[in-house]
Every structure is written in structure tokens, then in C-alpha cells.
Amino acid sequence: GKVKVGSKVIVIGGGDVAMDCAVTAKLLGSEDVKIVYRRTIERMPADRKEIAYTQDLNIPIFTGLKPAEIVGQSGKVARFKATGMFDDSELNLPSDMIIFAIGQEAEEIKELKEAVKEVAATKEVTTVEFNEKGTIKTIDYSTNIEGIFASGDIIEGDKTVVNAVKEGKEAAKAIVKYLLSKKEGVR
């Protein structure tokens, strides 16, 4: 069947899925598509080619804004309001469809890396190592710091809930093994 899209679509997010949603809405006939993202365009996780393609289709990207309110009228979406992340700015847009394409990361990895480095610089703390993907590096869920473990999205990036639960159970077993080795004096 035919997919029905709104004529005024707001896509919230900055990843590849958000770009795909915006492009698809436009190609399915939406008259007005806009993307709203909470950080700067430079910090968008979407592939640069995906961002360029949305711009080629004249889809504006509003950055530095977070969703604040969705206003309904007669049981339908009528307006979308966003407020500034870094200032007191506001954005009010007419809308009849809002798509949340915000991902499922445990935490923004770049922010985590910056926070870890900041703490390490102020104290005598070893920093957690990150791999080339920008996620925490582990061996059997153990980080480079003895007694510190990680699992799920923080070591793999975006995955499913099922994967996170599986890895959580595996990490718990690794933690139990570690604690038992400490109790018994075995390394």
C-alpha cells in the first residue's frame, strides 16, 4: 500500500536514520520537511554524504535545538516548538507529522571520552581506553582498568536491546569470575 506522509514534516535527530526519514518524506511528496538536531552540524553522527543529500533536496537543518512542545489541534499534530541548547532561542514551526529518529545510544561516546579525559587530567586516574570506533575497548568485558567492566552500546555502539541484555549477562559472569578470583587470591 501507499505510505501516507504529512505535508509539513519535522524530523528530530542527527544520524543516518534521521537523514533517511527526511529524504524519504520529501520523496514521498511532503511539501515541507525540516530536520531539528540538538548539537552543531559538525557534531552530527550522520554520514557527510547523507547530510549533503538532504541539503541538495533543500531540506533545512536546524541545529542547537531540543524539542520542547508538540501542540495538537483536533487530535492531530499542529505545531512543533524547540528551544535552544546553547541560548534562549526558540523555533515554532507548523507541522502535521513529527518523526523521532534519535537513536538508542547509552551515552554520547565523544562526551564520555571528553569527561574521562577531564577527570584524568585533574586526578591521578588511569583513563579507560577507546578503540578505533570510539567505543570503550574491552577484553571479555574488562577494560584496561582492573575491576572496571563495560558492555552493550558503550562497547559496540548502537545495537538492539536483545544484544545489550545478552552482553549484560555475559559481563555479569565476567564480573563474578573476577570477584571470585579476588576472594580466593587467584589471578
Tell me the pLDDT tens digit for each residue of 132-177. 777 788 999 888 877 778 888 778 776 677 877 888 899 899 989 8
CB-based contact 45:63 (threshold 8 Å): no
| Domains annotated on the chain, with CATH | 8-100 (3.50.50.60), 109-184 (3.50.50.60)
Q: Which residues contact 50 (CB under 8 A, 6 or more apart)?
A: 16, 19, 20, 23
pTM above 0.85, yes or no: no
The DSSP call for residue 38 is S
